[in-house]
Structure 1
Amino acid sequence: MSGQGEYVIDGTAIRSKRAMFTTLASALSFPDWFGHNLDALYDCLTDLSWLPEGDIKLVWTDSEVLAGADPTGYAGIREVLDDAVEGFATPGRSLAVEIS
């Protein structure tokens, strides 16, 4: 298995679910078909075949900014991130999410 790719989301300026979608799409090089909704986020996170080989670690810092500004959006994104880690099934790879 190859090394781990770490992708950091700086949450200091993320105050809406939409902003988080845009930031994730950019950080993880989501394909053009990404629909900027929770279902599409799950679909992309459980695929990630376009990223380099190896394990994937997503680090989201300052998540409390979104939690305070958009609690419902934060909860939805957290749930999708947790579900994607469980549902990630690409052989020889893993997805880890660290939220602070």
Structure 2
Amino acid sequence: MTASEPGTPRTGPHRAELDLDGVRDEPTFLDRCARDLALPQWFGHNWDALDDCLRDLSWWGRPSGYEIRIRGWQRFRAAAPETARTAADVLADAIEYWAPRDTPLTVTFDDQE
């Protein structure tokens, strides 16, 4: 089953960068996700809402895939280990959700600064 309708042109992968510089807690992480990932207005700034958004991604159009590059993960994880663990679980669930679809989600952690 494909996500695109017949005749709907597909673009390349949609790319977004999540910059975690200075993020040290859950509310700031969720705010940064809303800003950097251009989450929809209905995003509720909680883990369930982030999970919902990452399983929808309709506001990103009809790309051939989704890519999120995360910068500053190691410092974020050191500053807020429990929050980082929950964030990693939400991201892993989203990756697993998209894996069997024709628009996979890839998340990379770039800590070269």
TM-score, reference length from structure 2: 0.79
1:37 corresponds, among 28, 34, 46, to 46
Identify the residue that residue 22 of structure 2 maps to in structure 1.
13
Match for residue 70 of structure 1 among 73, 80, 89: 80
Gaps of 5+ in 2: 1-9
Pairwise CA distance, 1:20: 1.3
Instruction: Give the number of the structure whose alpha-carbon radius of gyration is greater.
Output: 2
Paired residues in the alignment total 100
| 2:54 and 2:94 in contact (8 A); partners too | yes
C-alpha contact (below 8 Å) 2:20/2:32 kept by paired residues: no
4+ runs deviating over 3 angstroms? 89-92
- The share of aligned pairs that are identical, in percent, is 31
TM-score (norm. length: structure 1): 0.88
Report the 3-state secondary structure (helix = DSSP H, G, I; strand = E; otherwise coil) of the residue aligned with 1:93: coil
Q: In structure 1, what is the Cα distance between the partners aligned to 2:50 and 2:57?
A: 11
Number of the residue aligned with 1:84: 94
RMSD: 1.8
